[in-house]
Amino acid sequence: MITFVRKLFRHMNEEATKTTSERTLNFLEEIIRDDLAQGKYDSIVTRFPPEPNGYLHIGHAKSICLNFGLAQRFGGKTNLRFDDTNPTKEETEYVDSIKEDIHWLGFRWAGEFYASDYFEQLYLWAHELIAKGLAYVDDQTQEEIRMGRGTVTSPGTESPYRNRSIEENTDLFTRMKNGEFPDGSRVLRAKIDMAHPNMLMRDPLMYRIIHTDHHRTGNTWCIYPMYDYAHGQCDSIEKITHSICTLEFDVHRPLYDWFIDKLGIFPSHQYEFARLNITHTVMSKRKLLELVKAGLVKGWDDPRMPTICGLRRRGFTPSSIRLFAEKVGVAKRDNVIDISLMEWCIREESNKNAPRYMAVLDPVKLVITNYPPEQVEYMKAPLNPEDPDAGNRDVPFTREIFIERNDFMEDPPKKFFRLRPGGEVRLKYGYIIRCENIIKDENGKITELQCTYDPESRPGSGTWRSVKGTIHWLSAAHAVKSEIRLFERLFTEPYMGNIPENKDYKDYLNPESLQIVQGLTDRDAAAVAGKAIPGKDDTRTRIQFERLGYFVPDYDTTKEKPVFNRICTLKDSFAKTMKA
Ligand code: ATP
Ligand code: MG
């Protein structure tokens, strides 16, 4: 696994410079290219079919980018279809959030549909299959049906109701629909083959009775189609040419084809690719919902969540997520992608775009004793060294500044190049200072560092002198109190799919995944944050706090207090992970 990830990372670095049109086609693109070349279709239609029972996560983003991306690439279109066939778990809140997330990712669907739009058609087709002797009403209990299905090594047994007459089936199914029977008393099953090697083909369920209101159809229906009976037919109604789903559905494909074939309707085809798994996180909606409900995270959009709204709040951009989806590629075999690949994508982008500021997370006061008390000097700093057009900004320098507490060590080891007693260090964009004196409180905690500065060492003054360390700092008079939120992996275990059976995934929650720091930031950065409308706009400026990482204002920012989320650190933690 590690080797795979390492290889992928290398490959990704190489691929990073290639544009979409230069890289080799993935297997789905090859299929589509060939289908179009052979004139099988004039143009392609794909769909993204979420079940509205939770918020979308990064795995869905992969599927969205794939479906919409294929249509864009081959001049086709993509529908958004809500797979709302299960009335007990679905809510309008989820429908809205799903639409918002897809929109935010930058995709526009051709048509917005609901599987429930097709309930009537699906019902009529079920009657058609009954009339063809291909479906029957079964009165067995759920348990009896399960028992009758047999095992992988032994054939199933036929239901005693399997050979009901077409008339009786038609009548019973109509009465099921009319609400004459209680939940669980009867089901409609396809009549295929109880000895079929593929268990899913052993007379699969088509309809079950559920007397529950549906988020769209209300109480119109009390029978609801199963996924396998609904999905292919919905695809067919919309003339989906390439119905792309995740690998675990490959065993469903014969059934998908069987219904379409027996009904003689538009031949949509299903193709499978490996679902996206990411280290240090879980991706099932059920588990994510559980984390939210149990208060283990602060909502669906908690920046530690792998949800699209969480990543968005954290500061990921739509383009960084699209890049990630592209880099991950389309695999035919399951794998686990290192979460640092996602960070790599936003880091690359931010490195190009993010203006640079300074912040101090754990401030200690530093007084420059030979600097005039009232004086303010402005140091020149490039807003973004990666972008010559970005220009410079003025960084105010005064007698009292703050530096990072851990940039000073009273008794440092050899390789410590930051500030030490009697030692020199350069203040980024500013002077070289020397530590002359340390002031401590009664507990021995350092409360102030007294330093002198070398007036000759101002950058650009002609006599450049270099010292080993450079540290960031903020003028005390100009710093703005800010809240800074630092995030770590949500789970301590990289491969959450492989945890022992006697363990619960929640046992692996990282207690240190959120660290809230009351620190100081540059007033210019605070002004950037102040401009951010608290809410969900993604016009928020991503900034770099030098040496600390890339940050974005959080929705909790108020006029009084900026709140910043760390999107990622400046350096990749990947190399470290690999060595460990
Ligand atoms: P979950 O198990 O996380 O709840 P799901 O597959 O039940 O996911 P759906 O709403 O049914 O969620 O999925 C909508 C589409 O997104 C489907 O086509 C599904 O295959 C795809 N999808 C879901 N999870 C992933 C993933 N991890 N990687 C790639 N595609 C995914
Ligand atoms: Mg599903």
Task: Say whether 285 is catalytic.
Answer: yes
Ligand 1 pocket mutation, candidates 94, 246, 337, criterion most atoms within 8 A of CB:
246
What's the 433 CA to ligand 2 centre distance in angstroms? 61
Nearest CA to ligand 1 atom 13: 50
Mean of pLDDT over the chain: 93
Please give the radius of gyration of the chain, using alpha carbons only, rounded to the nearest integer. Answer: 30
The backbone torsions φ and ψ at residue 172, rounded to the nearest 5 degrees and listed phi first, read -65, -40
What's the 59 CA to ligand 1 centre distance in angstroms? 6
Confidence at 13, pLDDT banded by 50, 70, 90: low
Task: Say whether 108 is catalytic.
Answer: no
The backbone torsions φ and ψ at residue 206, rounded to the nearest 5 degrees and listed phi first, read -110, -40
Annotated active-site residue in 285, 322, 399, 458: 285
Give the E-state strand segments of 446-580 in sequence order.
Answer: 446-454, 470-471, 473-475, 480-487, 514-521, 543-545, 549-553, 563-568
C-alpha distances out from residue 99 to 64, 112, 119, 446, Å:
11, 9, 22, 53
Question: Which atom of ligand 1 sits closest to the CA of residue 56?
Answer: 10
Contacts (Cβ under 8 Å, ≥6 apart) of 304 = 297, 310, 314, 487, 490, 513, 514
Q: Would the CB of 284 count as within 6 Å of ligand 1?
A: yes
In the chain, CATH 3.90.800.10 covers 119-226
List beta partners, residue 427. 471
List beta partners, residue 271. 244
By percentage, how much of the chain surpasses pLDDT 90? 87
Q: Would the CB of 50 count as within 6 Å of ligand 1?
A: yes
Select the more confidently predicted residue: 17 or 213.
Answer: 213
What's the 245 CA to ligand 1 centre distance in angstroms? 8
Select the more confidently predicted residue: 89 or 466.
Answer: 466
Residue 569 has pLDDT above 50, yes or no: yes
What's the 61 CA to ligand 2 centre distance in angstroms? 14
What's the 488 CA to ligand 1 centre distance in angstroms? 25
Annotated active-site residue in 99, 275, 428, 561: 275
Q: What is the mean pLDDT of residues 144-171?
A: 97
Q: Which CATH number fits domain 482-579: 1.10.260.40, 2.40.240.10, 3.10.450.50, 1.10.3720.10?
A: 2.40.240.10
Domain 119-226 -> CATH class: alpha beta
Q: What does the pLDDT read at residue 370?
A: 98
Q: For residue 131, what are its two tokens?
A: 């009339």
Nearest CA to ligand 1 atom 18: 245
C-alpha distances out from residue 244 to 46, 49, 220, 402, Å:
7, 9, 31, 55
**Other Cβ atoms closer than 10 A to 179:** 13
Q: Would the CB of 306 count as within 6 Å of ligand 1?
A: no
What's the 190 CA to ligand 2 centre distance in angstroms? 22
- Burial (CB count <10 Å: 0-12, 13-18, 19+), residue 428: middle
Pairwise CA distance, residues 85 & 113, whole Å: 12
In the chain, CATH 3.40.50.620 covers 2-114+231-281+318-346
Residue 1 has pLDDT above 80, yes or no: no
Confidence at 29, pLDDT banded by 50, 70, 90: very high
Residue 94 has pLDDT above 50, yes or no: yes
Question: For residue 272, which of 332, 347, 346, 349 has the smallest C-alpha distance?
Answer: 332
Question: Which atom of ligand 1 sits closest to the CA of residue 63?
Answer: 30
* 463 HSE (CA, 13 A, CB side): 6
Ligand that lies nearest to the alpha carbon of residue 285, given by its number in the listed order: 1
Question: Left (φ > 0), alpha (ψ -120 to 50) or beta: where does 106 sit?
Answer: left
Q: What does the pLDDT read at residue 579?
A: 39
In the chain, CATH 2.40.240.10 covers 359-472, 482-579
What's the 252 CA to ligand 2 centre distance in angstroms? 13
Q: Would the CB of 283 count as within 6 Å of ligand 1?
A: yes
Q: What does the pLDDT read at residue 501?
A: 93
Helix 340-353 × helix 318-328 angle, to 10°: 130
Ligand 1 pocket mutation, candidates 47, 56, 60, 114, criterion most atoms within 8 A of CB:
60
Confidence at 21, pLDDT banded by 50, 70, 90: low
Confidence at 393, pLDDT banded by 50, 70, 90: very high
By percentage, how much of the chain surpasses pLDDT 70? 93
**Other Cβ atoms closer than 10 A to 150:** 15
Q: Would the CB of 67 count as within 6 Å of ligand 1?
A: no
Q: What is the mean pLDDT of residues 297-301?
A: 97
Q: What does the pLDDT read at residue 299?
A: 97
What's the 504 CA to ligand 2 centre distance in angstroms? 22
Pairwise CA distance, residues 520 & 359, whole Å: 6
C-alpha distances out from residue 130 to 133, 169, 262, Å:
5, 7, 11
61, 321, 558, 483 alpha-carbon torsion, rounded to 10° = 110
The backbone torsions φ and ψ at residue 379, rounded to the nearest 5 degrees and listed phi first, read -90, 145
Nearest CA to ligand 1 atom 1: 284
DSSP type of residue 302: -
Question: For residue 186, which of 156, 200, 207 has the smallest C-alpha distance?
Answer: 207
Annotated active-site residue in 15, 29, 51, 349: 51
Q: What is the mean pLDDT of residues 250-271?
A: 98
Task: Say whether 51 is catalytic.
Answer: yes
Residue 201 has pLDDT above 90, yes or no: yes
Q: What is the mean pLDDT of residues 337-343?
A: 96
Structurally, at CATH architecture level, domain 2-114+231-281+318-346 sits in: 3-Layer(aba) Sandwich (3.40)
Pairwise CA distance, residues 563 & 298, whole Å: 16
Q: What is the mean pLDDT of residues 66-75?
A: 97
Q: Would the CB of 245 count as within 6 Å of ligand 1?
A: yes
CATH fold of 359-472 reads Ribosomal Protein L25; Chain P (2.40.240)
Q: Would the CB of 162 count as within 6 Å of ligand 1?
A: no
Nearest CA to ligand 1 atom 22: 60
Q: What does the pLDDT read at residue 464?
A: 80
